[in-house]
Amino acid sequence: MKLRLGRINISDIRFGEKTQVRHGVLWLNKEEILAALIDERLEKVELDLARPGEAVRIMPVKDVIEPRLKTEGPGGIFPGFLSKVDTVGEGTTLVLSGAAVVTVGKIVGFQEGIIDMSGPGAQYTPFSGTCNLVVTCDPVAGLNQHEHEVAVRMAGYRAAAALARAAQDAQVDSWEEYEHLNFPAGREKYPDLPRVVYVYMLQSQGLLHDTYVYGVDAKRILPTLISPTEVMDGAIVSGNCVSACDKNTTYHHLNNPVIHDLYRRHGRDLNFVGVIITNENVTLADKERSSSYTAKLADMLGLDGAIISEEGFGNPDTDLIMNCTKLEKRGIKTVLLTDEYAGRDGASQSLADADALADAVVTGGNANEVVTLPPMAKVIGDQEPAEVIAGGFAGSLGADGSITVEIQAIIGATSELGFNKRSAREV
């Protein structure tokens, strides 16, 4: 499989008469986009813009989505939702790099988060650096939580698709090419390089903790193999309300830095064999089944090493350690990517589970660290939930509009994909 990504660099976003890209500015026809978002489940939809450096706060955030347009090859972006379920990951896809759609509105689940476009909070989230179309969705009265989540999620995808049409006639600033060989071809081409796989743990605990693969809820799957280029084409999307700091938004999935870093080393000092996607479960039997199946797939591939990333914390720590120990016992060396909930002083146990075989761990930081976010000139959405979202507490919202929270309330602050600027070290 071979995928070409054409990146169109976006440095500003504005409303105008036509949705198009001119000289790095993404112009949006507001009425056309709103027309694409009509949904009987939504009473009101509003569009706002948020640019890097502005005194703007966005909350409570549901998802962040990068606009991409497939122009050549099978399928389309977000298969199973906006396009048919053809296998993606081949052909040509255009990317509005630097632009994003952010969905916000009345709170669905308590684990939704904050994006500050400036100030100290901006340092914790990658989306303070993107040019954002913010889609605020208010549900009709009486809509249940699950339908509310679906309606807002689909509004985000449709808005991203509406923006992505601007890429059709835009000048491409740079091209990237990614190839995924089948297993015999990869072994023949790189016979002496260590064979490495990426074990991609997907949040799938249910109760608004969901991730979708080609439109299928990940808790319904057994671990399976997927090409890394499929991930870049939107085969995996977020539908969850885990803590904001380590939520993998749809934007994270499209731009997974683990996949990109492995590609950079592919053919040089390792053979990037592919991706094993596995779910994070609730019951012990399901955890045992998925982790054993993951280890079996890894063993069948004849691997030397694996990188395992987690999404969420607490209960999924058990899935992480099970995946690690079962691979290690088969002679496959593992590196774990996680974050920590070590208490505000950093002195508590970082993970809910541990094992001596988990001896190579990279952390995205301590989510319990407390930060005060100063008041912003403009709030898109509603900051009243500051005291009830994960990371908030009684007294979080100050009378002046400032917010004091643990950084777990900030979108992407301790990303377990390394999509952030923080880490930690033992002292």
Q: How far apart are CA 246 and CA 413, in angstroms?
A: 7
Claim: this prediction has a pTM higher than 0.85:
yes
Give residue 427's pLDDT. Answer: 63
3-state secondary structure of 4: strand
Give residue 424's pLDDT. Answer: 66
Tokens of 6: 């054409």
Band (426; pLDDT cuts 50, 70, 90):
low
The pLDDT tens digits for 228-268 are 999 999 999 998 877 899 999 999 999 999 999 999 999 99
* Residue 418 maps to a domain: no
Give residue 12's pLDDT. Answer: 98
Are 397 and 360 in contact by the 8 Å Cβ rule? The answer is no
For 202-255, the DSSP string reads EE--SSS--EEETTEEGGG---EEE-HHHHHTTSEEE---S-GGG---HHHHHT
Give residue 109's pLDDT. Answer: 72
* Residue 416 maps to a domain: no
Give mean pLDDT, residues 106-120. Answer: 89
Q: How far apart are CA 366 and CA 146, in angstroms?
A: 30
- Total domains, the chain: 1
CB atoms within 10 A of CB 156: 28
Tokens of 266: 């592919």
3-state secondary structure of 316: helix
By CB atoms closer than 10 A (0-12, 13-18, 19+), residue 149 is buried
By C-alpha distance, which of 221, 213, 225 is closest to 253?
213
* Domain of residue 168, residue span: 2-409
* Residue 422 maps to a domain: no
Are 133 and 422 in contact by the 8 Å Cβ rule? The answer is no
Treating both helix axes as pointing N-terminal to C-terminal, what angle do 315-328 and 284-300 enclose, rounded to 10 degrees? 30
Give mean pLDDT, residues 132-142. Answer: 96
* Residue 11 maps to a domain: yes
User: In whole numbers, what is the pLDDT of the chain averaged over residues?
Assistant: 94
* Residue 285 maps to a domain: yes
Q: Is the pLDDT of residue 300 over 70?
A: yes
Give residue 205's pLDDT. Answer: 87
Give mean pLDDT, residues 333-357. Answer: 91
Catalytic residue among 131, 137, 241, 245: 241
In the residue annotation, 241 being an active-site residue is answered as yes
Q: How far apart are CA 358 and CA 395, in angstroms?
A: 38
Give residue 187's pLDDT. Answer: 92
* Residue 421 maps to a domain: no
* Residue 189 maps to a domain: yes
The pLDDT tens digits for 41-100 are 999 999 999 999 999 999 999 999 999 999 999 999 999 999 999 999 999 999 999 999
The pLDDT tens digits for 261-284 are 999 999 999 999 999 999 999 999
Q: Is the pLDDT of residue 369 over 70?
A: yes
Q: Is the pLDDT of residue 410 over 70?
A: yes
CA 156 to centroid of chain Cα atoms = 14
| Percentage of the chain lying above the pLDDT 70 cut | 99
* Residue 423 maps to a domain: no
Give mean pLDDT, residues 146-166. Answer: 95
